[in-house]
Amino acid sequence: MITTDKLNWYAAYTRVNQELVIKKKLDELGVENYLPQEERVRETPLGRKKIRVILIHGMIFIRTDKATSFSLLNDHLLNIVYLKDREERRSLIIPDKQMEKFKFMLDYSKDAVELSTTPLAPGELVKVIKGPLTGLEGELVMVDGKSKVAIRLDILGCAQVDMPAGFVEKVTTKCHKKRMKSSTNQPSL
């Protein structure tokens, strides 16, 4: 189904509680996708039970080429709507690097990952050097008096997880300094 065009990550809205149905259809079609889920322990009348919880209700991430992204809507009649880039009025593409960091954070964090659409002031670029998220690069930010490592997902907001300051080391790059300077002039997510 997928052509040889460049593959990109797209964020797509689904109906709430239809995320797993859409994921199953995409899997059957051989289209790479990612449905952010987290394992949690819940108390039930029969005792504790591990369940998988969908983190972003009504959304799934799809990695495909442009032609297939349209085909999913037109030929396969998937009930999804791609997020649009407001300026260019086309489907929003999430950079591969951002998706890699986001997936890594969700897959390896022992603590709950919070997703926030509230604008977050730029933090210091850091690399995690201890714990299950070792190697993850993100921004060290303070939220409600707690230090957190945040990963920005363009217009979707930030994924953040609690992180002791001693578990990270500062990373300095020219690119980060330039981005920090420009992001203080305009609100960012």
Tens of pLDDT, residue by residue over 74-125, are 888 888 999 887 777 788 889 999 999 999 998 888 888 888 888 778 888 9
- Are 125 and 100 a contacting pair, CB within 8 Å? no
* Measured distance CA(28)–CA(115) in Å, rounded: 29
* Measured distance CA(166)–CA(183) in Å, rounded: 26
Measured from the Cβ of residue 127, the count of other Cβ atoms closer than 10 Å reads: 16
Tens of pLDDT, residue by residue over 149-163, are 999 887 778 889 999
Q: How many helices (H) and strands (E) does the chain have?
A: 4, 15
Q: Which residues does 67 contact at the CB level (< 8 Å), separation at least 6?
A: 3, 5
pTM as predicted: 0.77
Tens of pLDDT, residue by residue over 41-61, are 889 898 999 888 888 889 999
Looking at the predicted structure, is the pLDDT value of residue 1 above 70?
A: no
